Structure 1
Amino acid sequence: MISAYIIAAEKAINSDRFPKRLEMAKKFAKAEVINYEKVNAGETLKKTTGGRGPNACIEDLGLEDFYDQTKQKLRLETDRPQLLREMMVACRKSGTFSIMGVNGAFVDKIPFGAAFSKGVTFRMGQMHGQKYINKYIYF
C-alpha cells in the first residue's frame, strides 16, 4: 500500500477479510479499507472512485469464496479468485491489473470479456520486492 503513494497515487484502497490487516493498512499506509466479506469489493471500488473504477488494481494474496472452496476440495480448482474477479470488473477502462501473489494455479470463471472490452492491461509475475520491505514497513 505504501508503494502506491511512492509512485504518486492519489489514494490507496485495500481490500481484505482480516481485521488486523485492514487496521494495519489504515494505520501504516493511510489506506481506505474494504472488508470484502461484508461488502462487494468491486461495487465499493466503483463507488469510491466516482463510478469509473480504479486506475490500477493489484492482487497479491489470492482469496476465496464458497464456490472456490468447494472446487478446491474437489480438486477442480487450485486458486481462490473471488476478489480477483471483482477487481477485474471494477478496474477502469484502459486501467492496469497487476497480479503478483503466488498464482500458479488453475482458476475458472475469470471475466476476461469484461477486461477485454475495457482494454485493461495485465501485468503479472512473482513479486521481487523483498529487498524493499524493511525500508518501508514499520511493525
Structure 2
Amino acid sequence: MKKYFAILAVIFCSYKIQAQTAQDTSEIKRVALAYIEAQHNPNSKLMESALHPRMVKRSVFRNKTAQKDFISEFFAENMVILAETYNVKGDKFPNNPRKEIKLLDVSTRTASVKLLADAWIDYMHIVKTNGEWKIINVLWQYNDVSQHQ
C-alpha cells in the first residue's frame, strides 16, 4: 500500500512540474494584467492581445423594475472597444489602481485566475492555444453588489 501511494506521489509531482512552467506562470499573469491595464490606460491593441477571439465576459445584474436577475454578456469585440473608450479622460481609476492577480489553478493548457481590481473582482479562465495564453471566459462582479442594478 505504501508503495502505491509513493508511486501516486511521484506521478502527481511529475504532472505538476510539466503542467506549469515559470514561463507559463509569467504569461498567464501578463495576459491578466494586459486585460486590466488596457482599461487603465486606453489601449485596444493591448486588450486584443490578451483575449481569445471567442472570449465572453459575464455578470449577474438585477432588473429593478422586473425584480429579476439577468446575465449580462460582453464579447471580445466589446472589450476591445471598451479598452479604447472607457477611461479616455483618465477619471475611472485611482492614480495607483489595484491590480492583484491570484493564480487559482494552472494546468498544461488551462488556468483559473482571480483579478482583484479597485471596484470589482474578475474570475478568468485562460487557455493556451497555438502556444499562446488567452482569456476565454470572465465572470465578474462589483465589490459592492448593490451596484449590480
* TM-score normalised by structure 2 residue count: 0.24
* TM-score normalised by structure 1 residue count: 0.25
